[in-house]
Structures are given as structure tokens and as C-alpha cells.
């Protein structure tokens, strides 16, 4: 199991502390334990940084721009297009010469999450899984996941620790599938009966019983006696959505019922349903129901 401490900026390589990194938003100080993300405009710089214990992905949001690896001859000097992704392995020093100004997203995934996902998806010892450093010019699946991490940093309504947990494991699965040489195990199958499996049923029961509190993927895993990656896979397989999205559905649905059947204030309903504050509820309610809580309540009373 990975460390439960929040993943802070002090655990990164140190690039983001450089004057050349003009940070727009990052996850430092949040309760994200499995992933760290940062969005910034980077201006030209040259530097060598000590190794990290975790895997780093750097998405170039614009470009092209020429970069030079100062520590990896296999990468050398490259022109990286917009959408290119630099994968940096843990345990090795990292050096870069950036020759132009670009917007980037840095995403760190804990090594322990990689190994946890590998335990369930590949044959052999997960501690021996290797994802070598490289520059990938086009991987739309991985790019979408990194972009989702950026959106979660920039939008409070998306930035829950459960969403970060889900993203970290989905990124880990993509890295293992596409960039390691490990032999994958056979894929699982959905429940043939169409009903919830016992694990999913227990997970949903836990969510409903604790809907007014902050819930993350590790909490659900502990309640169901399963690993976080197993829980995430069960939700994707049986419900077609990640756990954090299902939890939002539950919260919005409970808010809808309370708006219809009680005289509680919208702020009270937000608290009762586990939203951070009234505006958080309003933003998500509008997204899911295409109206505001106040307008919905009025429509049901006319």
C-alpha cells in the first residue's frame, strides 16, 4: 500500500522551484496521496536534478520546442511537438535543456501505485516492473489522463482525492500496458447476471453511509477489503464509470431529493450531501441537471 501522506511539491525533482517555472496551479497542500500535478508556463532553462522515487510525466501543451536530455543519451536532443509527453523514470538523475517557452503539465505517480497496479495486471514480480524514460510524440489516451489531472488541479469541483486516486491508477495501467515489457494477465469480465457483485455492493453501501464526509478510493478499498486498483476496475467494468463520478451522482441525487422534500437551505443541503460548500453543489448540480438547485426547487413547488 502506498504512503497515506499527501504528495507534496517537496517530493518532486525540484524543477518547479526554478524561477523558469511560472506555476498556474498545482496540487500541493491538497489531500492527494497517490499523485501530484502542476500546470505552468516554463521558460528556457538548463538544469540537472536529483532522482525522484516516483514516475514523472511532462505533457507539452504547446510547441514544437527543442529539448535536450543532459543525462540520457538514448533521448539526446529532440524537437517535441504539442501533445508530446516526456516520461522520466524514478531512481535516476534527470537533466534537461529547454530552449523555448511552453505550457506544461507535470504529473507524478507514486512508484508504489505502479507496483500495486502491476500486481493485479502483469505476471511476475511487480517490484521489477520497468517503464524506461522516453519522449512520446503521440499517446492520446495518456494525454487525456494528464489533461484530466490538470483540470482537477484547476477546478475545485473535480479535484477530490478520490478522483486523484482513480487517475493515478488509470495512468499507471496505461504506462504498464504501453511502455513496459511486462507480460499482461488476462482481462477480467463483467458480472454475467447484470447485478452488482458483492464488492461493488459493499462499496456503494459504504458511499451511501458516509456520503456527508470526504471519501477517497483508499477508504472504499479498506471498507471492501480490496485494493484501490481493484475497486476502480470493478466500477469501470460493472458501472462504466470511475468511483468518484458515481459518488457525485449519489450526492447530486440526494441533493435533488432534499430540495424536493425538505425546507433545508441550499447551504445545509450542500453540507448534508458532502459538497465542499454551496457553490460546489450549485456548479455540479447545474452540470448534471442543467439547472441550479434554487431553480429546481422552485420548479417542483409550482
With beta carbons less than 8 A apart as the criterion, state whether 1 and 11 touch.
no
Do 46 and 154 fall into the same domain? Answer: yes
Which of 179, 207, 231 is the C-terminal boundary of a domain? 179
What confidence tier does 3 reach under pLDDT thresholds 50, 70, 90? low
174-228: per-residue pLDDT in tens?
A: 899 889 988 887 643 333 334 578 898 899 989 999 999 999 999 999 999 999 9
pLDDT tens-digit profile of 101-128?
A: 999 999 999 999 999 999 988 888 999 9
Q: How far apart are CA 101 and CA 285, in angstroms?
A: 38
User: Nearest 5°: phi and psi at 228?
Assistant: -55, -40
In sequence order, the 6+-apart residues with CB closer than 8 A to the CB of 96 are: 15, 45, 46, 47, 67, 68, 69, 70
Coil, strand or helix: which one is 121?
Answer: helix
Structural domain span for residue 255: 198-301
Residues 212 and 155 in one domain: no
The pLDDT confidence band at residue 158, using thresholds 50, 70 and 90, is: low
CB burial readout 193-202, b (16+ within 10 A) else e? eeebeebbeb
Sign of the Cα pseudo-torsion (112, 118, 124, 128, in order): negative
User: CATH code at 271?
Assistant: 1.10.10.60
Give strand pairing partners of 136.
85
Q: With the CA atoms of 19, 23, 26 and 28 taken in that order, what torsion angle do they form, in degrees rounded to the nearest 10?
A: 30
Complete edge-to-edge strand list for the sheet that includes strand 134-136: 21-26, 35-42, 102-109, 55-60, 85-88, 134-136
Going across the sheet that includes 65-69, the strands are 45-49, 94-98, 65-69, 77-80
CATH number for the domain spanning 133: value is: 2.60.120.810
Helical H runs in 122-197? 140-154, 161-179
Q: Do 167 and 46 fall within a single domain?
A: yes
Q: How many domains does the chain divide into?
A: 2
Same domain, 230 and 158: no
Amino acid at each position: 500500500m502506498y504512503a497515506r501522506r499527501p504528495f507534496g511539491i517537496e517530493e518532486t525533482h525540484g524543477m518547479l522551484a526554478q524561477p523558469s517555472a511560472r506555476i498556474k496551479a498545482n496540487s500541493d497542500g491538497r489531500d492527494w496521496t497517490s499523485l501530484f500535478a502542476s500546470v505552468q508556463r516554463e521558460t528556457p532553462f538548463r538544469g540537472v536534478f536529483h532522482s525522484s522515487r516516483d514516475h514523472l510525466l511532462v505533457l507539452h501543451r504547446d510547441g514544437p520546442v527543442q529539448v535536450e536530455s543532459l543525462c540520457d543519451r538514448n533521448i539526446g536532443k529532440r524537437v517535441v511537438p504539442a501533445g508530446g509527453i516526456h516520461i522520466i523514470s524514478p531512481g535516476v538523475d534527470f537533466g534537461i535543456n529547454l530552449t523555448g517557452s511552453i505550457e506544461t503539465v507535470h504529473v507524478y505517480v507514486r512508484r508504489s501505485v505502479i507496483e500495486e497496479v502491476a500486481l493485479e495486471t502483469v505476471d511476475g514480480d511487480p517490484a521489477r516492473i520497468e517503464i524506461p524514460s522516453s519522449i512520446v510524440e503521440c499517446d492520446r489516451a495518456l494525454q487525456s489522463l494528464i489533461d484530466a489531472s490538470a483540470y482537477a488541479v484547476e477546478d475545485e469541483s473535480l479535484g477530490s482525492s478520490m478522483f486523484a486516486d482513480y487517475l493515478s491508477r488509470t495512468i499507471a495501467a496505461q504506462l504498464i500496458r504501453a511502455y513496459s515489457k511486462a507480460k499482461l494477465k488476462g482481462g477480467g469480465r463483467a458480472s454475467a447476471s447484470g447485478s452488482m457483485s458483492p464488492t461493488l455492493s459493499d462499496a456503494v453501501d459504504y458511499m451511501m453511509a458516509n456520503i456527508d464526509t470526504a471519501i477517497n478510493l483508499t477508504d472504499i478499498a479498506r471498507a471492501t477489503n480490496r485494493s484501490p486498483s481493484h475497486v476502480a476496475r470493478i466500477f469501470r467494468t460493472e458501472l462504466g464509470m470511475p468511483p468518484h463520478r458515481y459518488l457525485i451522482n449519489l450526492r447530486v441525487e440526494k441533493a435533488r431529493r432534499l430540495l424536493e422534500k425538505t425546507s433545508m437551505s441550499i447551504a445545509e443541503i450542500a453540507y448534508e450531501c458532502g459538497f465542499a460548500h454551496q457553490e460546489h453543489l450549485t456548479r455540479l448540480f447545474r452540470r448534471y441537471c442543467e439547472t441550479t438547485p434554487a431553480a429546481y426547487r422552485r420548479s417542483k413547488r409550482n
